[in-house]
Amino acid sequence: MATEPISEEVVGSCVDSHGSAIGMPQLCFDWFPNQIFWLVITLVVIFLVLSRVALPRIAAILAERQGTITNDLAAAEDLKAKAVEAEEAYNKALADARSEAQRIAAEARAEIQSGLDDAIAKADAEIAAKAAESEKAIAEIRAGALESIQVVAKDTAAELVTALGGEADAKAIDSAIDAQMKG
Amino acid sequence: MATETTAAEGSSLVFHPMDQFIVKPLFGDGAIAWYTPTNVTLWLFFAILAIIGLLVLSTSKRAIVPTRMQSVAELAYGFIYKMLEDICGKDGIKYFPYVMTLFMFIVTANFLGLIPTSFTTTSHFAVTIPLALAVFLTVTVLGFVKNGAGFLGLFWVSSAPLALRPILAIIELISYFVRPVSHSIRLAGNVMAGHAVIKVFAGFAAIAVISPVSVLAITAMYGLEVLVAFIQAYVFTILTCVYLKDALHPSH
């Protein structure tokens, strides 16, 4: 802001000698050509910059971003489908493994069971054989015992008869003892 | 600039709220011819620089994930693009660089004018009248080129009773020719008034007792001016779109 006196030429009708505006500077038509000239240049420059460089570039950026977003969404959809697939495969594998394990367990159980059954049958048979043997031995012993009792009884009877002064008739004694034993 | 509100010695309250709008040569004290580089030139140049910085430099990386400045550039682009598309439809899109130029110029010039001691180019009728006239002429020429004589249908309100139509045609015609006037004076008037009011409050700050109130008032006005700076650019642009729509689809 000029505080020194200003030449008459500059002052014109718009600015007083102190450099202050007279009325509205907006209505100072002396300045119009200058402002309009520079304005037109400015607008042309801005228009060229925008239409040649800035706007196509921003449009390209926005389009590219839109494309990227669309692609990413599609890729995400793909990956999601893959994840679902993988989960299904995993579940299937899990189920397979479980049934396989069950099958193996059942097999093992059956095997063990059959082994056990065999062993039991074998043991039963052995036990039965042993029991039969023992029974046979007992029967033998019993038969042996009867025989020896008979012999002892006959001997005793013969001795008794002799001691009583009789004649020991072996035949009679045998038959008598046999009869007794049977009875 | 600092001296202008307290210019005269002796009296403490001298207002020169309009001095901020004086056009001065950048070099020397000569007369202002049409080609003289002036403070207008300087601030128009800053406007160009700001627009290049905002729309060209910030987008130079073409980042998919935008930086802050690139987001602003994209926001401005999307804002005006959508406005134009909503109002004029698809066939208005080819005038997008033109509308964008107007919006970017006005909005940057308005905001540059809010820098203290700056020169507000859009506060001058010499700037806003050519802008409005350019829109007016473009729309008128475009209207006749696109629709031929059918463009006159804009003034012939076919939905009104026949007797009323000539009267309405006159009113429509007047309103049509008032468009560039209101279009330009609205912008310059709003910007100029706000800046002048801030200067007046600044003048009151010379009185010690009032100065806190004055500073508060300046702050509040400044906030309001920030709004006005954007809203006036928006209004100018949206009116341009509406006028363009009239040229493209003149039927009522």
| ipTM (interface predicted TM) | 0.87
- The verdict on A4 touching B (C-beta cutoff 8 Å) is no
DSSP B122: G
The pLDDT of residue A12 is 59
Q: Is the pLDDT of residue A37 over 80?
A: yes
Mean pLDDT of A62-77: 94
- Which residue did the predictor score with more confidence, A162 or A103? A103
- The verdict on A2 touching B (C-beta cutoff 8 Å) is yes
B45: nearest CA partner in chain A: A42
Q: Residue A3: inside a domain, yes or no?
A: no
* Cβ contacts of B188 within 8 Å, gap of 6 or more: A26, B122, B123, B124, B125, B127, B128
Query: Along chain B (252 residues), what's the average pLDDT of each consecutive run of 10 residues?
Result: 42 74 84 86 95 92 89 94 94 93 96 92 93 94 90 85 90 93 94 92 87 92 95 96 90 66
Q: Residue A65: inside a domain, yes or no?
A: yes
A45: nearest CA partner in chain B: B48
Chain A residues 108-147 within an 8 A CB cutoff of chain B:
none
Long-range contacts of B167-172 (CB under 8 A, 24+ apart): none
Position B189: which residue type? Answer: G
Determine which of A11-20, A106-115, B40-49, B227-236 has the lowest per-residue pLDDT on average: A11-20
CA of B121 vs chain A CAs: smallest distance (Å): 9
Q: Residue A97: inside a domain, yes or no?
A: yes
Selection from B196, B19, B20, B235 nearest residue B107 by Cα: B235
The pLDDT of residue B7 is 43
Neighbouring C-beta atoms of residue B141, cutoff 10 Å: 12
pTM for this model (two decimals): 0.73
The answer to whether B57 touches B72, Cβ cutoff 8 Å, is: no
Q: Is the pLDDT of residue A6 over 70?
A: no
Q: Residue A2: inside a domain, yes or no?
A: no
- Residues B18, A24: C-beta atoms closer than 8 Å: yes
Contacts of B55 in chain A (CB under 8 A): 49-50, 54-55, 58
The pLDDT of residue B252 is 59
The pLDDT of residue B223 is 95
- Residues A21, B22: C-beta atoms closer than 8 Å: yes
Q: Is the pLDDT of residue A68 over 90?
A: yes
- The verdict on A166 touching B (C-beta cutoff 8 Å) is no
Q: Print the domain residue range for A84.
A: 8-182
CA distance A96 to A104: 12
Q: Print the domain residue range for B103.
A: 4-248
Long-range contacts of B88-91 (CB under 8 A, 24+ apart): B88/B241, B88/B244, B88/B245, B88/B248, B89/B245, B89/B248, B89/B249, B91/B248
- The verdict on A25 touching B (C-beta cutoff 8 Å) is yes
B62: nearest CA partner in chain A: A61
- The verdict on A51 touching B (C-beta cutoff 8 Å) is yes
Number of domains in chain A: 1
Mean pLDDT of A11-31: 78
* Partner residue facing A49 (CB), from B56, B63, B78: B56
- The verdict on A19 touching B (C-beta cutoff 8 Å) is yes
Percent of residues, chain A, with pLDDT higher than 70 = 92
Mean pLDDT of A41-56: 95
Neighbouring C-beta atoms of residue B225, cutoff 10 Å: 24
- Only one residue has tokens 């309405």, namely B168
The pLDDT of residue A153 is 84
- Residues B74, A61: C-beta atoms closer than 8 Å: yes
Number of domains in chain B: 1
From its phi and psi, is residue B62 left (phi > 0), alpha (psi between -120 and 50) or beta? left
CA distance B190 to B167: 32
